[in-house]
Amino acid sequence: MTETDPPAATVINEAGASPVVLLCEHASNHIPPRYARLGLAEADLARHIAYDIGALPVARHLSRRLDAVLVHSGYSRLLIDCNRPLAAPSSIPERSEDTAIPGNIGIDAAERARRDALFFAPFRERVATLLDARLRAGQPTLLIGMHSFTPVYLGVSRIWHAGMLYGRAHNLGRAMIAGLRASDPALVVGDNEPYRVTEEGDYTVPHQGDARGIPTALIEVRQDLIGHADGQEAWGERLAGVLAAIAADVVTVRER
């Protein structure tokens, strides 16, 4: 690590009053110079394979509007993915979408452990510390990950404008879907689409949230909708309205 490298985990508005805890696991496309872009072209680092385009600006907007804490990662998911268990093949992918990742092919256990220690462990441990502190304090908590997805994946167009991914938190996931659809009936909102959460393939929902009994969901928004400032603000406002209503219900139920 050098002075120019970002922290593995950045916490924004830690004292936020909202029940919502925001995560952005794929916030950055940063790869330290010593990794030589993992053998990829510079243009590849601007693609979805390196990070979730538009997700961090929307997460920052939500943090401001909701007065919510936000934890975001500092490094590209190509180094190691902050939303994958270490044993998952996609934790340090040798191939992402249709692109081989030369710098990840054939790395040994020591390098895997090094990347975990530098780039993933500080993030997951910071999130775990935050969540455990809230549980001890009896603070109502909703854990929300902010993500984005490509309009086309391996040549197949995706019909959704957004999707909600969840595991055990059916009420939260469905309330968010209903809220988004109510905000604009023209929106196509996926229910555990375009991805599906699994214990083996995902980290945040099953291991950070569901395992603690914290209602948890990931928001996915199509990248062409939030790849620019106007879209980021519009979707930030839309999602803030949905989450604010759900958070208010959580607090009201607790106070009864």
pLDDT digits (tens, 9 = 90+) for 116-168: 999 999 999 999 999 999 999 999 999 999 999 999 998 899 999 999 999 99
The DSSP bridge partners found for residue 148 are 221
Whole-model pTM? 0.96
* CATH topology assigned to domain 9-255: Aminopeptidase (3.40.630)
Q: What is the pLDDT of residues 198-217, one digit of tens each?
A: 999 999 999 999 999 999 99
Cα(238)–Cα(146) distance, integer angstroms? 13
pLDDT at 196 over 90: yes
B/e letters for 171-194, b = 16+ CB within 10 Å, e = fewer, are ebbebbbebbeeeeeeeebbebbb
Residue 254 binned pLDDT confidence (cut-offs 50, 70, 90) = very low
CA angle 60, 65, 69 (to 5 degrees): 55
Tally Cβ neighbours within 10 Å of residue 41.
10
pLDDT at 251 over 70: no
Cα(38)–Cα(102) distance, integer angstroms? 6
Cα(97)–Cα(55) distance, integer angstroms? 19
Residue 193 binned pLDDT confidence (cut-offs 50, 70, 90) = very high
Domain ranges of the chain: 9-255
